[in-house]
Amino acid sequence: MENQVIELAYALDTFYFLVMGAFVMWMAAGFAMLEAGLVRSKSTVEILTKNIALYSIASVMYMLCGYNIMYSGTESTWMPLAFDMLTSADNSAADVIASGGDTYYSGLSDFFFQVVFVATAMSIVSGAVAERMKLWSFLLFAVVMCGFIYPVQGFWKWGGGFLDAAGFADFAGSGVVHLCGATAALAGVILLGARKGRYTASGKAVAMPGANMPLATLGTFILWLGWFGFNGGSELVVSNVAEANAVAMVFVNTNAAAAGGVIAALLTAKILFGKADLSMTLNGALAGLVAITAEPLAPTPGLATIIGAIGGILVVFSIITFDKLKLDDPVGAMSVHGVVGLWGLIAVVLSNTDASLSSQLFGAVVIFGWTFVTSIIAWSIIKMVIGIRVSEEDEMNGVDIAECGMEAYPEFVRK
Amino acid sequence: MENQVIELAYALDTFYFLVMGAFVMWMAAGFAMLEAGLVRSKSTVEILTKNIALYSIASVMYMLCGYNIMYSGTESTWMPLAFDMLTSADNSAADVIASGGDTYYSGLSDFFFQVVFVATAMSIVSGAVAERMKLWSFLLFAVVMCGFIYPVQGFWKWGGGFLDAAGFADFAGSGVVHLCGATAALAGVILLGARKGRYTASGKAVAMPGANMPLATLGTFILWLGWFGFNGGSELVVSNVAEANAVAMVFVNTNAAAAGGVIAALLTAKILFGKADLSMTLNGALAGLVAITAEPLAPTPGLATIIGAIGGILVVFSIITFDKLKLDDPVGAMSVHGVVGLWGLIAVVLSNTDASLSSQLFGAVVIFGWTFVTSIIAWSIIKMVIGIRVSEEDEMNGVDIAECGMEAYPEFVRK
Amino acid sequence: MENQVIELAYALDTFYFLVMGAFVMWMAAGFAMLEAGLVRSKSTVEILTKNIALYSIASVMYMLCGYNIMYSGTESTWMPLAFDMLTSADNSAADVIASGGDTYYSGLSDFFFQVVFVATAMSIVSGAVAERMKLWSFLLFAVVMCGFIYPVQGFWKWGGGFLDAAGFADFAGSGVVHLCGATAALAGVILLGARKGRYTASGKAVAMPGANMPLATLGTFILWLGWFGFNGGSELVVSNVAEANAVAMVFVNTNAAAAGGVIAALLTAKILFGKADLSMTLNGALAGLVAITAEPLAPTPGLATIIGAIGGILVVFSIITFDKLKLDDPVGAMSVHGVVGLWGLIAVVLSNTDASLSSQLFGAVVIFGWTFVTSIIAWSIIKMVIGIRVSEEDEMNGVDIAECGMEAYPEFVRK
Amino acid sequence: MKLVTAIIKPFKLDDVREALSEIGVSGITATEVKGFGRQKGHTELYRGAEYVVDFLPKIKLEIAIDDSLVETLLDSITKAANTGKIGDGKIFVSDLSQVIRIRTGETGATAL
Amino acid sequence: MKLVTAIIKPFKLDDVREALSEIGVSGITATEVKGFGRQKGHTELYRGAEYVVDFLPKIKLEIAIDDSLVETLLDSITKAANTGKIGDGKIFVSDLSQVIRIRTGETGATAL
Amino acid sequence: MKLVTAIIKPFKLDDVREALSEIGVSGITATEVKGFGRQKGHTELYRGAEYVVDFLPKIKLEIAIDDSLVETLLDSITKAANTGKIGDGKIFVSDLSQVIRIRTGETGATAL
Ligand SMILES: Nc1ncnc2c1ncn2[C@@H]1O[C@H](COP(=O)(O)OP(=O)(O)O)[C@@H](O)[C@H]1O
Ligand SMILES: Nc1ncnc2c1ncn2[C@@H]1O[C@H](COP(=O)(O)OP(=O)(O)O)[C@@H](O)[C@H]1O
Ligand SMILES: Nc1ncnc2c1ncn2[C@@H]1O[C@H](COP(=O)(O)OP(=O)(O)O)[C@@H](O)[C@H]1O
């Protein structure tokens, strides 16, 4: 009887993990739609191809080595050694029962949940370098990012490495996932340069409106839904009253922060530009979500709303600032995931009394430093060997024709 | 041991609630896509903005006061008093165990489930007033609707108020959510008037075809999926055989009613217009879903199909009738949610022997009366203070440029 | 206490079944978007109408007779007799407890899960015959397919019929669902002929690019997500350690196979055509998913990736081959679901030691033979009575105007 | 015969078409065009960056017509398309040396 | 030199282009246009409401050509674009006083 | 007055517009067109099947201008639109017998 209860709890936690993981997988579609909506139509097929391919590469690379790097639990806290995931069996019922419930979910369900996270980090990159980066160079970087760069810093925090030991708090990954992805993107954008015509000779930013705003909105809603899995699943367990309450709290706060981000970004854009800028509002939703990701459990829903709202304000100013710096980011990924990711890490101290500002900043610096340096190296090598930027003519005609030989909307006349 | 089982049941019910709530949240995307598909392209960005903003406003207002109004459980059955949700803690494990399982889910999970419902009600309004209502006036109304109008009538039924006491039966909200939303929409449409050019001088309706039918279809499918959460979650508990069977029955009947609505609307449109009108068929699906929402548990799947099918027939005639009355509703929201919502309330008596026609009609009248009067007042005040309708020129050029300074499909040439 | 645990397990399994079923229902949206993206814009409304209508017909027909044919469990293993699903009650708590947990989910949840499967099979057909088949003829075929052709062969395997007895292994339906759907499509395509202008007089295939690649990509992601329900739910039970592990394994393998399919198809297309063909890549994802569907539990994730990758390679060559045979399939459904479905059945023997190549081929031949013969008969009768192909003029102007009197994108200028 | 080409504001299309019907014009060919003129475009903001819209949407109408009717036609268009605001558009008139109706092969004025 | 402007039914584009290739026409400029003429539009229903489609899709072809080839060209178009049904379209011919090839600066007939 | 019609490569539009502004041209009407000429289209592959793109995207500019300015205008367009590669396009010049400004009713050169 008691054993049955333990098994049942294990089953519930595993099922919860899988459902939450499926929600996170759905975020891949969200990024694909968001980015497809925010680029120009001549770069749409290529960004779709990048998105579905990067998700696939993430799945394979994380299986081949990423997961083992990140969760090997070895002696060294700096660099993991084991590469055994594919052979090791899942928990047996006997082991689970013997653990008295301490082993509470399937190892494979954990793998599933983790694999969709690395895909999220990589999805962040694709948007920032859109419309001008070579497809195959990007996919090559995805191999390195998903197989090495991301898992190593992931290990430092979630694998029980030195960041975790240093008291760095990052519940679902404002830092480990979002800041990391944004940093890799930043490195790419610096080496890549802006889209042709994006800034005038005198330095003014020239708008390049996204071709399909309904798609971008759909992508945002998908991400919002997926984020319930992203944050909600990161509680890792649901099978008792306290944990169930915690998961519920995470759901409520995740929703509240996104709502706060929407409202704040909408108002900020209205005040700054005099118009209700939908693309900023969408970024505001995502900013709210990123902001709460580092600590969606401890704040009250009211505080969560405020944390999200600050994210929503920040993202608008950040996007303008990156433009001033001529760092061209078609979808605002560096602002949403990087700048607001940092804000999320800092905001942890508002509600989580175990976290300190210094350890949060330390974590942010480590993640940024590691990811930036390794990414710059990786991008540079790729650049030297096969180049990272398409030719000017290909860019002008659109990467879709050049790289994919296909148009996104072949029948529609375009301006 | 026994305690563990109670905790586990609590966890399962809470998790079920959260997953169902996430499905309902997804309906926000469904409304956004449906409406974005059914308006003209020049009003698309604005309707998207309204949809994501109204969802956010609903989330915040319901947290600030709506939930407390609706579920305060105070002495008065007419108007609630307490405003304590943000401070009150969730159920402790001790309390849950002490209750012997009578407290069976997290209070926060309930909040989450409820918050997405109010957003649904508000989403209904946005479609009906699309293409001509000012963005900010609409959002102001959303504040009133989500913070006050909806919760009060919600309290009368689901909060244990006088409608509940009067034997009014409304399982998941054909009345409380759908009729309420449609009534608020009707009040708005009356004050707002039809889109310019929608009716000729001689009173004929002029078609204004939706710009993107795949989006509208996607929205319908999203809503269909979300409705499993909407109705399925409204059983509130799943953790024993009887309840699990009940939830399964609700899923089956919800699906059956939607299917019935599709087939009936498709055939009705074919007979009336000689063509397979997709937009009517989509409305038929939604009509089937709305029709079954008041009682998705008691009917057999066969009866559910018929209830949905009648909804599907009704919706076609209703849309034509509203056009005769020159009540312009670009997406058919008043027909789908209002007329068919009423049908849903009546259809309860076909299978639920506890319900009487008189109490159902009483409930419908109360919800309609309350919502209509308060909405007319709210819309009127907004109209007097800042106006509710965009200028003729803005309407002609499209509200997208005027209100959001953005086009939905900036690159595509339009007719 | 013990009873409560049994009830709880029943509730968890039922809930799991319902959630997985909802994911599968979502695949209907996936097919609709995929097909709407891959046809020309002038045939988009009609394919959307077909998709939502076929899902509804599947729901109704399976309720009326399909489920009973498939799962009647009668004496005869060739043809079922009972037609009692609508009247029979669900499992009572007493029965469940008496069974000691052997009755572990709601009968209605099973019905729900099954009903979405038949819709999937039918969805496969719509894509292959798109752009030229009459709407109402197609829907008539849907009645026959969902009410008779599919359930009979489903009964042979999953209802405990002779294919099951013969050792034919098909976990989630590479054969029963995908090969069956593709075979019905093949029969239709043969009788229907290619789209006008699809092949030149000299036999060369002329490309007819899909009108909306983001939609096609969205559809693929939806299907990918839905497939976690399709395969994950086919384990049928999750409520103990071994089963929870199994479901987790199925999720991981399903994801791995799809990823393998994407990468393989992308590379294959690149090598063959010199471009990163997105439409082939999307077909690659689906091919990976179909390939693993017959056995998503037994392989290691590495093997699953390879099985999916082989599917991804196969699908590219298959599409080219069907074109050589002038069998026109606008979305590649016969390749994805038919050819790769067969590969999936064969691939079972790579990891499932209970399966033999001969029994797998036997099953494939039986499913193909039954479905092809009955489908040819059904299509032929429909062809004789009301015709299956629209007039040349209607095809040229697009079936949307002819059949639905509506354009998918009425405002956008087309080339 | 003359070819009269009018550039008008898009929302005036219906008015102009009706005015032309009234004076018996039986054929019009319309094209979506973009016009650059005295009516200056505007600078939009998108995500805080500028977005200059130089070319404004216009409709070009082409009407082949018998010489005798040209004046009436010009009058009619000028009136129907006029809003008095900048950007109302232009009318150009040029000569046609021949007109053929494809369906019948008729030529000249009877082909109109 | 002449400018020959033909309004044809969209699905006739390929036929006409082939016919023109045969007689050696080496340049064509095509535009999507909407035509209003004797071929009446139709009234569609959308959600039970009327929807008048006045302007039908047509293709406008413009071909600059040497005077000597005009007759052949007109013949060729008339034949290739003819379906015999109302709405087949029109051909307009007007004079060109100059033609320049941008790439080379050539002018006159050699620029064609 | 003359009507100058230029077919140019789409990405040259901005350059040409700026060049025309410099020489004081105050009005342009632009149309999306598809051109068939010496610059051959290409054969694309889609799902392994061929896909011939015959007609290439071009922009057609129409400028009504006073006779005295035609030469400057032609020069300016020819320079600004030139890439030296095949497909740069053509310029056609024809006579306009009348020009009207709809807003004011002005005619002739003052209407330009
Ligand atoms: N010289 C010209 N050549 C060709 N088109 C012109 C010319 N001048 C004006 N147009 C067209 O007429 C439209 C209106 O002209 P504009 O100068 O803005 O205002 P108005 O007609 O009131 O003088 C322009 O957008 C352009 O399409
Ligand atoms: N007078 C005209 N001026 C300009 N275009 C015309 C004229 N008459 C006809 N057209 C064009 O030719 C097309 C076909 O003309 P229509 O009168 O419908 O049939 P038909 O060519 O058989 O006489 C019209 O849709 C329109 O685009
Ligand atoms: N005779 C012609 N009549 C009309 N348009 C032409 C003619 N010749 C060329 N064009 C237009 O000019 C464009 C460029 O012509 P093309 O022959 O390809 O190159 P080039 O201008 O370098 O000679 C074509 O795409 C077409 O739009």
Give the pLDDT of residue A68. 84
Give the pLDDT of residue C415. 66
What type of residue sits at position A223? L
Beta strands in E1-112 (DSSP E): 2-8, 28-36, 42-46, 49-53, 56-65, 90-95, 98-101
Q: D109 in ligand 2 pocket by Cβ < 6 Å? A: no
**CB E45, CB E51: distance < 8 Å:** yes
Name, in order, each residue with C-beta under 8 angstroms of E24's C-beta and a sequence gap of 6 or more. E69
Longest dimension (CA), chain A: 76
**CB A299, CB A350: distance < 8 Å:** yes
CB-based contact C207 F44, cutoff 8 Å: yes
* Residues of chain A positioned with their CB less than 8 A from the CB of B413: 412-415
**Residue A205: both structure tokens together:** 């930013």
List own/partner pairs for F79-84 with CB under 8 A and 24 or more apart.
F79/F19, F80/F12, F80/F15, F80/F16, F80/F18, F80/F19, F80/F20, F81/E102, F81/F6, F81/F8, F81/F9, F81/F12, F81/F15, F81/F16, F82/E102, F82/E103, F83/E103, F83/F9, F83/F12, F84/E103
Q: Among residues A346, A50, A340, which one has the least CA distance to residue A188? A: A50
Q: D112 in ligand 2 pocket by Cβ < 6 Å? A: yes
Best mutation site among D61, D90, D91, D94 for ligand 1, i.e. most ligand atoms within 8 A of its Cβ? D90
Name, in order, each residue with C-beta under 8 angstroms of B147's C-beta and a sequence gap of 6 or more. B61, B62, B64, B65, B66
Residue that the structure tokens 């009136």 belong to: D79
Query: Who wins on pLDDT, B397 or C181?
Result: C181
Across-strand partners of E95? E2
Give the Å distance between the CA of F87 and the centre of ligand 3: 6
The per-residue pLDDT for range B156-196, each reduced to its tens digit, is: 999 989 999 999 999 999 999 999 999 999 999 999 999 99
Helix (H) or strand (E) run with residue F29 in it: strand F28-36
Mean pLDDT, chain C, rounded, equals: 94
Residue of the CA atom closest to atom 19 of ligand 1 = D87
DSSP secondary structure string, A161-173? -HHHHTT---SS-
Across-strand partners of D62? D5, D29
**Whole-angstrom Cα Rg for chain B:** 21
F71 reaches E (C-beta below 8 A):
no
**CB A118, CB A69: distance < 8 Å:** no
Helix (H) or strand (E) run with residue A117 in it: helix A107-128
CB-based contact F98 D81, cutoff 8 Å: no
What type of residue sits at position B294? A
Calculate ∠ Cα C50-C55-C56, nearest 5°. 100
What type of residue sits at position A140? L
Tally: H helices and E strands in chain C: 18, 0
CB-based contact D11 B396, cutoff 8 Å: yes
The per-residue pLDDT for range B27-62, each reduced to its tens digit, is: 999 999 999 999 999 999 999 999 999 999 999 999
Tally: H helices and E strands in chain F: 2, 7
The per-residue pLDDT for range A178-203, each reduced to its tens digit, is: 999 999 999 999 999 999 999 999 98
- The percent of chain B in helix, strand and coil, each rounded to the nearest 5, is 70, 0, 25
Between residues 86 and 105 of chain E, which touch chain D (CB distance below 8 Å)?
A: 86-95
Name, in order, each residue with C-beta under 8 angstroms of A271's C-beta and a sequence gap of 6 or more. none
Q: How far apart are the first and last CA of chain C?
A: 70
**pLDDT confidence bin for C369, thresholds 50/70/90:** very high
Chains that touch A (3 or more CB pairs under 8 A): B, C, D, F
Is the pLDDT confidence value at C214 over 50?
yes
**CB D46, CB A209: distance < 8 Å:** yes
Residue that the structure tokens 């191999």 belong to: A143
What are the Cα distances from residue F38, in Å, to A179, B24, B204, E21, E23?
A: 52, 58, 52, 12, 15
Helix (H) or strand (E) run with residue B124 in it: helix B107-128
Q: Among residues F103, B401, F26, which one has the least CA distance to residue D87? A: F103
**Rounded Cα distance, B32 and B26, in Å:** 10
Using DSSP, state whether B346 is helix, strand or coil.
Answer: helix
Complex ipTM tops 0.90: yes
CB-based contact A228 B22, cutoff 8 Å: yes
Sign of CA dihedral C23, C25, C26, C31: positive
What type of residue sits at position C360? Q
**Residue E63: both structure tokens together:** 């071909």
* Residues of chain F positioned with their CB less than 8 A from the CB of C319: 47-48
F109 reaches D (C-beta below 8 A):
no
CB-based contact A8 C240, cutoff 8 Å: yes
Sign of CA dihedral C242, C244, C245, C247: positive
**Rounded Cα distance, A341 and A347, in Å:** 10
How far is Cα of residue B392 from the mean position of the Cα atoms in its chain? 30
Q: What is the pTM of this model?
A: 0.94
**Rounded Cα distance, D112 and A350, in Å:** 79
**Rounded Cα distance, B255 and C229, in Å:** 17
D41 reaches A (C-beta below 8 A):
no
Q: What pLDDT tens digit does each residue of chain A (415 aa) get?
A: 689 999 999 999 999 999 999 999 999 999 999 999 999 999 999 999 999 999 999 999 999 889 888 887 554 444 444 344 555 578 889 989 998 888 888 989 999 999 999 999 999 999 999 999 999 999 999 999 999 999 999 999 999 899 999 999 999 999 999 999 999 999 999 999 999 999 999 989 999 999 999 999 999 999 999 999 999 999 999 999 999 999 999 999 999 999 999 999 999 999 999 999 999 999 999 999 999 999 999 999 999 999 999 999 999 999 999 999 999 999 999 999 999 999 999 999 999 999 999 999 999 999 999 999 999 999 999 999 999 999 998 998 899 999 999 999 988 877 6
**Rounded Cα distance, C6 and B241, in Å:** 9
**Residue B1: both structure tokens together:** 């041991």
Q: Among residues C117, C342, C155, C153, which one has the least CA distance to residue C233? A: C117
Would you tell me how many other CB atoms lie within 10 Å of the CB of residue C77? 16
DSSP A199: B
Q: Among residues C180, C179, C54, which one has the least CA distance to residue C126? A: C54
CB-based contact E46 B209, cutoff 8 Å: yes
Calculate ∠ Cα A329-A332-A337, nearest 5°. 120
**Rounded Cα distance, A258 and A221, in Å:** 10
Mean pLDDT in residue range B139-158: 96
**Rounded Cα distance, C332 and A89, in Å:** 38
Q: Among residues B155, C338, E88, C238, which one has the least CA distance to residue A106? A: C238
Residue that the structure tokens 């008048």 belong to: E52
**Residue B315: both structure tokens together:** 């919706």
What type of residue sits at position E50? E
**Residue B166: both structure tokens together:** 């009067």
The per-residue pLDDT for range A360-382, each reduced to its tens digit, is: 999 999 999 999 999 999 999 99
**CB B170, CB B347: distance < 8 Å:** no
Q: E86 in ligand 2 pocket by Cβ < 6 Å? A: yes
**CB C60, CB B290: distance < 8 Å:** no
What are the Cα distances from residue F18, in Å, to B242, D40, F15, F28, F81?
A: 76, 14, 5, 11, 11
Q: What pLDDT tens digit does each residue of chain D (112 aa) get?
A: 999 999 999 889 989 999 999 999 989 999 999 999 988 777 777 888 877 778 888 999 999 999 999 999 999 999 999 999 999 999 999 999 999 999 999 998 888 8
Q: Among residues C350, C264, C343, which one has the least CA distance to residue C300? A: C350
The per-residue pLDDT for range B318-370, each reduced to its tens digit, is: 999 999 999 999 999 999 999 999 999 999 999 999 999 999 999 999 999 99
Angle between helices A241-273 and A213-232 (to 10 degrees): 150
Residue of C40, C322, C415 to mutate when probing chain F, most F C-beta within 10 A? C415
What type of residue sits at position A295? E
Shortest distance, CA B248 to any CA of chain C (angstroms): 5
Q: Among residues B170, B162, B168, B165, which one has the least CA distance to residue B77? A: B162
Q: Among residues B103, B75, B74, which one has the least CA distance to residue B90? A: B103
**Residue A185: both structure tokens together:** 């993107």
The atom of ligand 3 lying closest to the CA of F86 is 22
Give the Å distance between the CA of B122 and the centre of ligand 1: 46
